[in-house]
Structure 1
Amino acid sequence: MWGTLPRIFDRACSYYADRTALVDGERRLTYTEMHDWANRVGNALVRLEVGKGDRVGLLMPNCLEFIPTMCGIWKAGAAITQMPTRASAEDFHYYLDDVQASTLIYHEAFDEAVAQIRDRLPGLQHVIRLSAGDPLPGALDYDATLQRESASTPAIEPHVDDLAFVGFTSGTTGVPKGVLQTHATWSHYAVTAGLEIGDIRPGEVFAHAAPLTHFSQTFVMPTFMRGGTNVILPGFDLDLLLDTIEGEGVTATAVVPTIVYMLLDHPRRDKVDLSTLRTVVYAGSPMAPDGLRRALETFGPIFVQTYAGTEPGYMTCLRKEDHRLDSPEWIERLASAGRPMYHVDLTIRDAAGHVLPPGEPGEICAAQPGQMVGYVDASRDAETMQDGWVRSGDIGYVDAAGFVFIIDRQKDMIVTGGFNVFPRQIEDLLITHPAVAQCAVIGVPDPRWGEAVKAVVVTKPGSDVSAEALIDVVKQHKGSVWAPKSIDFTDVLPTNPSGKIDKKSLRAPYWAGQRRQVN
Structure 2
Amino acid sequence: MTDQNSLWGPVTRVLDRACTYYSDRTALIAGDRSLTYTELRSVTNRIANGLLALGITPGERVGLLMPNILEFVPTQYGIWKSGAVPVQMAAKASAEDHRYFLTESGATTLIYHASFDATVAALADQVPTLRRLIRLGEQPGDSAADYYEIFGTQDDSTPPVDIGPGDPAQIMFTSGSTGTPKGVLFTHDRLSHYLLTAGLEIGDTRPGEVFAHGAPLTHFTQIFLLPTFLRGGANVIMPGLDVDTLLDTIVRHRATATAVVPTVIYLMLTHPKLAAADLSSLGTVIYAGSPMAPEKLRTAIEALGPVFIQTYAGTEPGFISCLRKQDHMLDDPAALARLGSAGRPLFHVDVSIQDEQDRHLPVGETGEICARQLGRMSGYLDSGKDTEALRDGWVHSGDIGYLDADGYLFLVDRKKDLVVTGGFNVFPRQVEDVLTQHAAVAQCAVIGIPHPKWGEAVHAVVVPKPGHTVTAEQLIALVKAHKGSVWAPKTLDFVDTLPLNASGKVDKKALRAPYWAGHARQVN
Q: Into which bin does the TM-score normalised by the smaller protein fall?
A: over 0.9
Are 1:460 and 2:465 counterparts? yes
Give the alignment partner of residue 107 of structure 1, picking from 113, 118, 121: 113
Are 1:441 and 2:446 counterparts? yes
Q: Distance in 1 between matches of 2:232 and 2:323?
A: 26
Give the alignment partner of residue 425 of structure 1, picking from 427, 430, 449: 430
> Alignment partner of 2:64: what SS?
strand
| CA deviation after TM superposition for structure 1 residue 376, in Å | 0.5
Q: For residues 363-417 of structure 1, what are the alpha-carbon distances to aligned partners after superposition, in whole Å with 9 as ceiling and x for unaligned?
A: 0000001000100110000111001100000000011111000000000000000
| CA deviation after TM superposition for structure 1 residue 236, in Å | 1.3
Q: Distance in 1 between matches of 2:521 and 2:329?
A: 44
Give the structure 2 partner of residue 219 of structure 1.
224
Are 1:300 and 2:305 counterparts? yes
| CA deviation after TM superposition for structure 1 residue 36, in Å | 0.5
Are 1:162 and 2:154 counterparts? no
Q: Distance in 2 between matches of 1:283 and 1:423?
A: 18
Contact 2:242 2:264 in 1 (8 A): no
> Alignment partner of 2:107: what SS?
coil
Are 1:242 and 2:254 counterparts? no
Give the alignment partner of residue 172 of structure 1, picking from 154, 171, 177: 177
Give the structure 2 partner of residue 13 of structure 1.
19
> Alignment partner of 2:93: what SS?
coil
> Alignment partner of 1:334: what SS?
helix
| CA deviation after TM superposition for structure 1 residue 266, in Å | 1.1
Give the structure 1 partner of residue 3 of structure 2.
none
Return the TM-score normalized by structure 1.
0.99
Give the alignment partner of residue 484 of structure 1, picking from 476, 481, 489: 489
Q: For residues 94-130 of structure 1, what are the alpha-carbon distances to aligned partners after superposition, in whole Å with 9 as ceiling and x for unaligned?
A: 0000001010000000000000000111211111000
Give the structure 2 partner of residue 503 of structure 1.
508
Are 1:73 and 2:79 counterparts? yes
Give the structure 1 partner of residue 138 of structure 2.
132
| CA deviation after TM superposition for structure 1 residue 237, in Å | 2.5
Q: Distance in 2 between matches of 1:143 and 1:197?
A: 36
Q: For residues 413-461 of structure 1, what are the alpha-carbon distances to aligned partners after superposition, in whole Å with 9 as ceiling and x for unaligned?
A: 0000000000000001101111111100000000100100000111111
Give the structure 2 partner of residue 275 of structure 1.
280
Contact 2:103 2:128 in 1 (8 A): no
Corresponding letter in the other structure for 2:23: A
| CA deviation after TM superposition for structure 1 residue 148, in Å | 2.5
Corresponding letter in the other structure for 1:264: L
Aligned positions of 1:46-445 closer than 5 A: 46-133=52-139, 135-445=140-450
Moved more, 258-267 or 273-282: 258-267
| CA deviation after TM superposition for structure 1 residue 485, in Å | 0.1
Report % sequence identity.
61
Contact 1:280 1:304 in 2 (8 A): yes
| CA deviation after TM superposition for structure 1 residue 300, in Å | 1.2
Contact 2:68 2:239 in 1 (8 A): yes
- Residue correspondences, number: 518
Q: Distance in 1 between matches of 2:159 and 2:506?
A: 42
Question: What 5-or-longer segments of structure 2 have no aligned partner?
Answer: 1-6
> Alignment partner of 2:275: what SS?
helix
> Alignment partner of 1:492: what SS?
coil
- List, as ranges, runs of 4+ consecutive aligned residues in structure 1 with deviation greater than 6 Å: none
| CA deviation after TM superposition for structure 1 residue 51, in Å | 2.6
Return the TM-score normalized by structure 2.
0.98
Give the structure 1 partner of residue 498 of structure 2.
493
